[in-house]
């Protein structure tokens, strides 16, 4: 979900008595998670627009870093429950968890890794795990040497790789339906070179297109294929979420 108009609509979509933890049967996740994904899109769009016109000030960088850290903490703790009339829908719980994990990946893809977190070793994650942030509050510590920086980069990549593996593991237990389009698109856009993952993503996207040959499904598949080709050619290509993600719905 990238279209900013869709994101802004979600911000004001809920009534005061709506249960934000209840999973929406159409969207495949809770209203609370939808709101968080909307906030990620809006924050990333705001930061991108400001960065294109001028360098961000220290206070602005601090604002964006704190906002993205708060979003990650909320994504860790967001609850998703089945509606009372669908208590036996274990598959819906798995779809909702896929979208929560994908939202964590989407957050880091669009707004980066927490600047003030300690990630020198990969976090331990499981199929339905929560992903902790250990904040570093020691402001007097000297800047890290190249060694630790390399460890941070390696651990960040390991974190993403494990997260992608968990997402794919859950998707593999689910049928090919359009509700998985957004997770497949986000995972396919991550710069992780794993041939098995590539085949899985492209096969599932093709299966979904075969069952529902809609424009947004074709766009998602073509965007992922384009990203893979660019990576194979070692072509410097960033993720233009505003262009390629437009029209790819969370549902």
DSSP helix/strand/coil, 22: strand
Q: Are 187 and 105 in contact (CB under 8 A)?
A: yes
Residue 143 domain flag: no
Predicted structure pTM score: 0.77
Please report which helix (H) or strand (E) contains residue 69, including its range.
helix 58-77
How sure is the predictor about 226, in pLDDT bands with cuts at 50, 70 and 90?
confident
Angstrom CA distances, 236 to 112, 139, 216, 227, 233, stand at 18, 35, 25, 10, 9
Q: For residue 61, tell me if it sits in a domain.
A: yes
Is it the case that residue 164 has pLDDT exceeding 50?
yes
Let me know if residue 83 belongs to a domain. Answer: yes
What is the extent of the structural domain holding 76?
17-111
Residue that is written with structure tokens 């890290």 in the block? 144
Residue 209 token pair: 């297109």
35 plus 105 within the same structural domain:
yes
* Residue 171 covered by a domain: yes
Is residue 122 within 8 Å of 134, Cβ to Cβ? Answer: no
User: Can you spell out the DSSP letters for 165-233?
Assistant: HHHHHHHTTS---GGGHHHHHHHHHS----HHHHHHHHHHHHHHHHH---HHHHHHHHHHHHHHHHHHT
Question: Which of 25-39, 56-70, 91-105, 126-140 is the least confident region?
Answer: 126-140
In a domain, 249, yes or no: no
User: Per-residue pLDDT tens for 11-54?
Assistant: 556 666 678 899 999 999 999 999 999 999 999 999 999 999 99
137 pLDDT above the threshold of 50:
no
In a domain, 116, yes or no: no
pLDDT digits (tens, 9 = 90+) for 76-90: 999 999 999 988 999
Contacting residues for 224 by C-beta, under 8 A, at least 6 apart: 184, 185, 188, 189, 201, 202, 205
pLDDT, position 46: 95
Taking CA 129 as the corner, what is the angle to CA 220 and CA 178, rounded to the nearest 5 degrees? 25
Q: Can you say whether the dihedral through the CA atoms of 115, 122, 81, 207 is positive or negative?
A: positive
Q: Compute the half-sphere exposure of residue 13: CA atoms within 13 Å on the CB side of its CA.
A: 18
More confident position, 16 or 3: 16
Q: What pLDDT does 18 receive?
A: 75
pLDDT at 17: 67
**169, 229: one domain:** yes
- Position 151 scores a pLDDT of 41
Instruction: Report how far residue 239's alpha carbon sits from residue 233's, in angstroms, rounded to the nearest whole number.
Output: 16
Structurally, the chain folds into a number of domains equal to 2
**Three-state DSSP class for residue 250:** coil
Residue finishing a domain among 111, 145, 164 = 111
User: Rounded to the nearest 5 degrees, what angle is found at the Cα of 97, between the Cα atoms of 94 and 99?
Assistant: 115
What share of the chain has pLDDT > 90, as a percent?
A: 52
Q: Establish if 105 belongs to a structural domain.
A: yes
Residues 162 and 82 reside in one and the same domain: no
- Identify the bridge partners of residue 117 per DSSP, sorted by sequence position: 135
Which residue did the predictor score with more confidence, 212 or 125? Answer: 212
Question: Residue 1 pLDDT > 90, yes or no?
Answer: no
Cα distances (Å, whole numbers) of residue 231 to 117, 160, 180, 193? 29, 17, 23, 8
Please check whether residue 191 lies inside any domain of the structure: yes
């Amino acid at each position: 979900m990238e279209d900013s108009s869709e994101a802004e609509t979600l911000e004001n979509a809920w009534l005061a008595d709506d249960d934000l933890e209840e999973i929406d049967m159409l969207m495949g996740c809770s209203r609370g998670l939808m709101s968080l994904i909307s906030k990620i899109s809006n924050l990333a769009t705001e930061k991108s627009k400001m960065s294109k016109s001028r360098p961000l000030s220290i206070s602005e960088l601090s604002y964006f870093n704190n906002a993205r850290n708060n979003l990650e903490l909320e994504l860790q703790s967001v609850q998703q429950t089945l509606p009372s009339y669908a208590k036996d829908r274990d598959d819906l719980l798995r779809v909702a968890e896929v979208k929560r994990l994908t939202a964590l990946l989407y957050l880091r893809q669009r707004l980066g890794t927490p600047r003030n977190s300690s990630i020198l070793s990969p976090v331990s994650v499981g199929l339905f795990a929560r992903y902790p942030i250990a904040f570093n509050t020691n402001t007097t510590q000297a800047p890290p040497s190249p060694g630790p920086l390399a460890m941070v980069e390696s651990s960040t990549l390991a974190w993403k790789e494990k997260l992608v593996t968990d997402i794919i593991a859950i998707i593999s237990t689910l049928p090919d339906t359009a509700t998985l389009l957004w997770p497949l698109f986000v995972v396919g856009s991550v710069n992780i070179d794993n041939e098995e993952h590539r085949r899985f993503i492209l096969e599932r996207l093709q299966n979904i297109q075969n069952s529902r040959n809609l424009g947004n499904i074709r766009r998602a598949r073509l965007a992922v294929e384009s990203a893979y080709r660019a990576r194979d050619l070692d072509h410097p290509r960033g993720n233009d979420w505003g262009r390629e993600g437009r029209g790819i719905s969370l549902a």
